[in-house]
Each structure stands twice: as C-alpha cells, then as structure tokens.
Amino acid sequence: MCDLTRRNLLLSTAFMAGAAKAADEINSAVNLAKDVYFHQGDLEHQGHCNNGWIIFKDYVLVIDANFPSGAQNILPKIRALTPKPIRFAFDTHHHGDHAYGNQVWIDNGATPVAHTGVIEEMKRYETGYYDDKPGRWEEAAKERPDVAASHLAPPSVLFPRELYFDDGEHRVELIHLGVAHTHGDAMAWLPKEKILFTGDACVNGPYNFVGDGNIEKWIATLDAAKKLGAQAVCPGHGPRGVETVLGDQQLFFQELSRSVDRRVKAKQSARQVFEAVGQIREQIVAQPRIARYVDKDGIAAQVEKVYNEMTGKSFPPDTKTSHQARLLHRHAHAAG
C-alpha cells in the first residue's frame, strides 16, 4: 500500500470504526514494575514507536527517542510521574521513529545514547547531515512537520557492546546482541525485573521492515535474546507481551527462510520465487502462532531479502519489491 491517498482513506475508515478508543488505550503509560514504564506508541495515526522509561534515584532514562512529536507526547507523561531530570535517551537503532526525537530530549537536558552501529548506519543513510546530499531525514521532513521543524542530533554517548546504568536500586543493561532489524540494534535489559525492551529487533505484529538488516543473523540475535530469560517483552511496535513474543518473532523468520530455502534447493528462478510469494504468505497465515506477523503488502520484500541472502540475487527489476517496501515503511511513519 504505497499510495498516500489510499492509505489516508483507510486510516479514516479505521478511525470511524472506533480507532479513537484504541488510540486512547495506546497512549496510556503502563507501570510494569516499580519505576518502570511502557508506552505503546500510536503507529497507525502518528507513526510513533513504543517507548519505555525507568525512574532511577536521581534521574530518568528513556528508551527510544521516537519522532519529535512522539517525544513531545510522552514528555508530560514522565513529568506527571516524577520531577527528576531526564538525563539519557537510548536509541535502540537509527530509524527516524526511534532516533529523530533526540533533539527534543537534548533540549530537555538529556544525552542520546546508542550502540556504535547507530552512528555507522546514520553515516550511511543520513547523508544530508554527514554530506551535502539529501538523506532520510530530508525525505521524512517532506512528510512530517515535526521533523521539518527540528534537526538531526546523532547520539553522542556510544557503546560497542554494553553499557550499564545501576544506582543500587535499579539496573538497566544496554546490550548489543548482534545484527537484526539493523546493524546497530541494541536492547535494554532489566535483569532484576526480567523485563526486556527490544526496539524493532522484536515487534508484535506486521511491522517487520527488513531492508536495513539481515534475517539470518536476526534469527541468531533473537536466540541470544531468548537466553536472557525475560518474562515481559516490550517490542518496538505492537502491544507488550511475554517471553513467547521473542520465539514467535523468530519462528516467523524461520518459516520464511525454510520456505525460500526449499525453492532455492529446487533451483527455482528469482521470478518463480517472486511468483510464489502468495503461497508462502498463505502457509504462514495458516499458523496461528505467527499469522499476526504477515503484512500482505510487505511480505514480498521479506521473501526477497531471504532469497538475496541465500543466493546473492534479487527479484526481477520490474517487480520493484524492495523499493515498494521502503516506501511502505516510510509512509507507515509519515502520519502525525
């Protein structure tokens, strides 16, 4: 679904069907444990990611900067809970809906924190900041007034593998477990509470954009995440869940990979694999545990990504699969 007019019409219809009530529920902060909060962002209407925050003895750590409007949305929710200063905003990865709000947090006294891979990805894609060619920020600014009114502020505190926040009462471990949704993914793990904030390395619904990651490595990264023993999982998009969400996300990619692998071993051409996308989709939809991960407009790009990783080849140019997936991802975050 790449046409913005059609998308807006569908969003309007969903709103009339009761999306206003759902938005109210989505925009409520949930207290997961003492001083630990989860906020499900309104992706459908505002393009926002999920957020979390932990109130330490002397300061607040926010998980994901969101878009500027998303940051402005949760700021008063945090202020209503505590007068403590917001000192750090952790970007789980470089995408706009998780990092473009950094300047808002800086203006409110916080320092953006991220894995070193976030800067590497920004240098690759945010050429308008690091070079003189327009990059993704400039693309987003054309569709989002909140981005146009702000500016990109890359994280300035970086860690290669892990960074701990521990005041004796609360401990939050920022950890890079491997490549997944991007090459700079990191998660926030609370070992005492058994709570894991995953960013988009794990989502809970049809929100998987695979263009900047590696699905084979993603599966292995989810394996490492499962070993942490989380009891509550706070995904980058979709409702919070329990430990099974990690396995469900992993199983979706495993089934996708198995379906493509069978066709590669059968010597099917790229065109034949592309033409089998509908069949692959139906096979996954038939599995109740992972059916919710299927996006009928995005699965072709996911299949192509697996095929490319296995063979080094892409789908025929006339399919425009990857291009359409990137447009879909961009437009899905253009509202608000």
The pLDDT value given to residue 321: 77
Domain locations in the chain? Answer: 4-242, 255-330
d(CA 329, CA 336): 15
For tokens 């976030």, the residue is 118
> DSSP character for 292?
G
Task: Compute the mean pLDDT over every residue in the chain, rounded to the nearest whole number.
Answer: 91
d(CA 128, CA 171): 37
User: CB burial class (10 A; 0-12, 13-18, 19+) of residue 293?
Assistant: buried
Q: Which of 38, 68, 37 minimizes the C-alpha distance to 151?
A: 68
pLDDT of 140-196, one tens digit each?
Answer: 999 999 999 999 999 999 999 999 999 999 999 999 999 999 999 999 999 999 999
The CATH classification number of 4-242 equals 3.60.15.10
pLDDT of 226-280, one tens digit each?
Answer: 999 999 999 999 999 999 999 999 999 999 999 999 999 999 999 999 999 999 9
d(CA 173, CA 8): 39
Query: Crossing angle for the helix pair 244-265 and 277-285, nearest 10 degrees?
Result: 150
Reduced to 3 states (helix: H, G, I; strand: E, B; else coil), residue 56 is coil
pTM of the model: 0.90
Percent of the residues in the chain that have a pLDDT greater than 90, as a whole number? 86
Average of per-residue pLDDT across 111-123: 98
Average of per-residue pLDDT across 62-84: 98
The pLDDT value given to residue 2: 36
Token pair belonging to 295 = 């996006």
